[in-house]
């Protein structure tokens, strides 16, 4: 493999890991947000917002 190949594979692995981490954080946050009582939710996330 050439130097460019190693560079592209390295960046690809790094970006894929970062994307996977971001997806997991957002998914966990959404899952945990359902456990917050309605009176403790922030105004941006309440379900009764028009």
d(CA 1, CA 12): 15
The answer to whether the Cα torsion of 22, 25, 27, 30 is positive or negative is: negative
Q: Which string of DSSP letters, residue by residue, matches 3-22? A: HHHHHHHHHHHHHHHHHHHH
Condensed to tens digits (0 to 9), the pLDDT of residues 24-47 reads 999 999 999 889 888 887 766 556
Number of C-alpha atoms within 13 angstroms, CB side, residue 27? 6
Give the pLDDT of residue 10: 95
* pLDDT tens-digit readout, 3-32: 999 999 999 999 999 999 999 999 999 999
């Amino acid at each position: 493999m050439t130097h460019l190949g190693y560079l592209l594979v390295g960046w690809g692995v790094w970006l894929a890991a970062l994307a996977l981490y971001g997806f997991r954080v957002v998914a966990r946050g959404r899952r945990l947000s359902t456990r917050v009582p309605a009176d403790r939710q922030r105004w941006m996330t309440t379900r009764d917002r028009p």
